[in-house]
Structure 1
Amino acid sequence: MASHPNHPRSAAIFGASGAIGRALCERLAALGCEQIHAGSRSGVEIGVPGSVPFAFDLTDESSIAAAAQQMAGKPPEWVVIASGVLSLAEGRGPERTLKRIDADAMARVLALNTIGPALIAKHVLPLMPRERSFVFAALGARVGSISDNQLGGWHSYRASKAALNMLVRNFAIEMGRTHEHGVVVALHPGTVDSRLSKPFQKGLAEGQLTEPDDAAKRLVDVMASLAPGDSGKVFDYAGAEIPA
């Protein structure tokens, strides 16, 4: 059994092979989560107790639909989208100036950070029972806050996360009409020591970089504290609401 009444007995992590996703799986297993659907592009076993691997591709809706179908008989109590992109595979990082905007690169960032999570929501949220609580969380970013943006730059990444925040709000409103116990949120994990953040770690202030295990613990604590009234909002790793 889970050690806290709000910790889930079942969960699904989309992006379980990444630093944060794997750490979330390990943290949930340690808390007694009995079944963890652990999704990655390869669909490989991650070696976490109670984990059940599945394959999905953020740019292939049929793979997402198939993954959701595997969970349909017993929908997970928590669903976390822990996948996304900051720098593209060929090394093209966030644009620091509008002169660097490239249509193809921007489309790929939006496909992975915004459209992919939207497709996961499309196929997973309808599985959620109306009579019980659930948490559906997508990893967002503080830089997706429009009102908090003082530096500019990182155009595609900021835009993709701002759009994700809007979708989270939309999905929360729609689900709230039929699923009064559900919570749909975006979560900012902080700057986590991962492949995604590696090129941008130089010059970080002391203590700003967080280990994946610590980030996972904080995120799980935040999710366990959420109530239906929090649905549609964006929270950071400390549970503080981030303005839109």
Structure 2
Amino acid sequence: MEKALIIGVSGGIGDAMSAALTARGIAVTGVSRSGDGLDVTDEASVHRVLGPLAGPFDLIFVATGALEIDGAEPEKNLRSVTARAMMDQFMLNCVGPSLAMKHAIRLMPRDRRCVFAALSARVGSIGDNGFGGWYSYRTAKAALNQMIHTGAIELARTHRHAICVALHPGTVRTSFTEKYLGRHPAVPAPEAAANLLAVLDGLSPEHTGQFLDWQGKPVPW
């Protein structure tokens, strides 16, 4: 039986991914802040939660992150930028998945296809930024994309069947986004999970290190 590990399983997309994978007959292990006290920004916490896991896992999916932290909303202009908000965003949206990747490598098989995927966001694209604003969140996601791309290079040296990607799920209707949807079309979390799984199904080692959207199309760095 295939096995999957979802880090951030209590969130909207994490929970939907767990349900979709379970429906496929895949054995899912899920960890989260609410269920396991996992703080992805604290390496001791990451080690405590991931350390006892045995694996190997065919899929490791990181669904952690936040758009608003401690009431700090996405900035509309440079006057709103603060060091605290930038550091909070960087810790949760870049450092957290990076630590998860560091501690998850040992849980990935070397003899067969496996995937490490982390949720990113199109607004983290430097090349596809025509609107500005949202400085801290954009910057943190851009940094995450660099970590995924760089980690994929190292991972390929020891796990030649592995695939390591950053994924943009589209605009998903969850508590994460409800304040910011406006008139933007959004899909429910189960639909977003189905879209992401379809992308993951089609990946091969040639795709490792890429930044892809919910349709499997490359997103500019």
Q: TM-score, normalised by structure 2?
A: 0.97
Can you give the 5+ residue segments of structure 2 that lack an aligned partner in the other structure?
none
Q: What are the Cα deviations for residues 182-232 of structure 1, in whole angstroms up to 9, with x where unaligned?
A: 00000000010011101111122xxx2011000000101111111000000
Q: Distance in 2 between matches of 1:84 and 1:74?
A: 24
Q: Distance in 1 between matches of 2:15 and 2:107?
A: 24
The Cα of 1:37 is off from its aligned counterpart by 1.2
Write the letter of the residue equivalent to 1:22: D
Write the letter of the residue equivalent to 2:146: M
Counterpart of 1:82 (choices 45, 63, 77) is 63
Counterpart of 2:105 (choices 125, 128, 142) is 125
Counterpart of 1:36 (choices 11, 28, 33) is 28
Q: Distance in 2 between matches of 1:167 and 1:23?
A: 25
Counterpart of 2:186 (choices 209, 220, 236) is 209
The Cα of 1:55 is off from its aligned counterpart by 4.1
From the two aligned structures, give the one with the greater helix fraction. Answer: 2
Write the letter of the residue equivalent to 2:112: R
Q: In the comparison of the two structures, how many residue pairs are matched?
A: 221
Q: Distance in 1 between matches of 2:209 and 2:106?
A: 17
Q: TM-score, normalised by structure 1?
A: 0.88
User: Aligned Cα RMSD in Å?
Assistant: 1.1
Q: For residue 26 of structure 1, what is the aligned residue in structure 2?
A: 19
Q: Distance in 1 between matches of 2:37 and 2:72?
A: 26
Q: For residue 241 of structure 1, what is the aligned residue in structure 2?
A: 218
Counterpart of 1:163 (choices 130, 134, 143) is 143
**Percentage of pairs with the same residue:** 42
Q: Distance in 2 between matches of 1:140 and 1:74?
A: 24
Can you give the 5+ residue segments of structure 1 that lack an aligned partner in the other structure?
2-8, 44-53
Q: Distance in 2 between matches of 1:59 and 1:239?
A: 29
Counterpart of 1:222 (choices 185, 192, 199) is 199
Q: For residue 46 of structure 2, what is the aligned residue in structure 1?
A: 64
Q: Distance in 2 between matches of 1:59 and 1:209?
A: 29
Q: What are the Cα deviations for residues 61-99 of structure 1, in whole angstroms up to 9, with x where unaligned?
A: 11211222222x32211011101010113x221111111
